[in-house]
């Protein structure tokens, strides 16, 4: 009788673990299917999906040694670069919600796993919010920087050549850094197709 109870408990535990792993699955292991039509919003959304996919694989399997790597004594480490990309992802998300970017000091620094998860989910949320938006909707987005009473606003054009392009640039650095530290990106990553082979 006791062995039957243990078997039931074990099965329930395994189901619980399986459900938790599905809930916690990170986005952008592959790029989602593309839409059937082109709109300003879903074109931008697809651009973010490409960024998310590149970031996912650039950061997949990084070691503690990789995170400490810096190209020179004066350069940022891999982890510092990932923190910068995370800040960019927050700025992009803020613009899509017309929220101000407020620089805060003395914020606790997240560990790598938390940082990666937050960045990927920020990109996913941006993509979802952009999807199917019209040109009029996209034109309404504003990039806002606020420091105390000082507030500066820019059109969404600045976000495209600013934070979005900057994030792509820095993801490329991460790819280069990890190659230099001896842990290159999975060679089966296919950014054109948006899927990675086994």
Read off the pLDDT of each residue in 30-47 and give the average, rounded to a whole number. 93
Q: What is the pLDDT of residue 106?
A: 64
2-196 folds as 1.20.120
Read off the pLDDT of each residue in 150-172 and give the average, rounded to a whole number. 96
Q: Which residue ranges make up each domain of the chain?
A: 2-196
pTM of the complete model: 0.85
DSSP string, 67-104: HH--SSSSSPPHHHHHHHHHHHHHHHHHHHTT-EEE--
Q: Which residue has the higher pLDDT, 16 or 194?
A: 194
Share of the chain above pLDDT 90, in %: 74
Q: What is the pLDDT of residue 181?
A: 94
How does pLDDT run across 48-88, given as a tens digit for each residue?
999 999 999 999 999 999 999 999 989 999 999 999 999 99
User: Is pLDDT at 12 greater than 90 in this prediction?
Assistant: no
188: its two tokens: 């089966």
Q: What is the pLDDT of residue 107?
A: 65
Q: Which residue has the higher pLDDT, 171 or 197?
A: 171
How does pLDDT run across 115-156, given as a tens digit for each residue?
999 999 999 999 999 988 888 889 999 999 998 889 999 999
Rounded Cα distance between 171 and 68, Å, is: 16
Rounded Cα distance between 151 and 100, Å, is: 8
Q: What is the pLDDT of residue 89?
A: 97
Cα of first residue to Cα of last residue in the chain, in angstroms, is 43
Q: Which residue has the higher pLDDT, 18 or 170?
A: 170
Rounded Cα distance between 136 and 59, Å, is: 35
Q: For residue 121, which phi and psi values (nearest 5 degrees)?
A: -70, -30
Q: What is the pLDDT of residue 3?
A: 55
């Amino acid at each position: 009788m006791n062995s039957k109870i243990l078997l039931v408990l074990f099965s329930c535990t395994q189901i619980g673990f399986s459900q938790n792993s599905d809930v916690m699955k990170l986005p952008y292991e592959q790029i989602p299917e593309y839409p059937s039509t082109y709109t300003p919003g879903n074109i931008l959304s697809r651009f973010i999906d490409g960024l998310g996919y590149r970031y996912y694989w650039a950061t997949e399997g990084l070691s503690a040694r990789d995170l400490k790597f810096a190209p020179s004594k004066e350069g940022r480490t891999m982890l510092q670069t990932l923190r910068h990309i995370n800040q960019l992802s927050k700025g992009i998300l803020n613009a899509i919600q017309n929220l101000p970017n407020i620089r805060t000091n003395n914020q606790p620094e997240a560990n790598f796993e938390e940082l990666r998860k937050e960045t990927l989910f920020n990109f996913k949320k941006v993509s979802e919010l952009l999807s199917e938006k019209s040109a009029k909707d996209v034109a309404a987005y504003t990039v806002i920087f606020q420091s105390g009473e000082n507030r500066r606003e820019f059109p969404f054009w600045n976000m495209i050549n600013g934070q979005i392009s900057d994030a792509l640039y820095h993801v490329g650095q991460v790819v280069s850094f990890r190659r230099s530290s001896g842990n290159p990106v999975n060679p089966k990553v296919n950014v054109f197709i948006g899927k990675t082979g086994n």
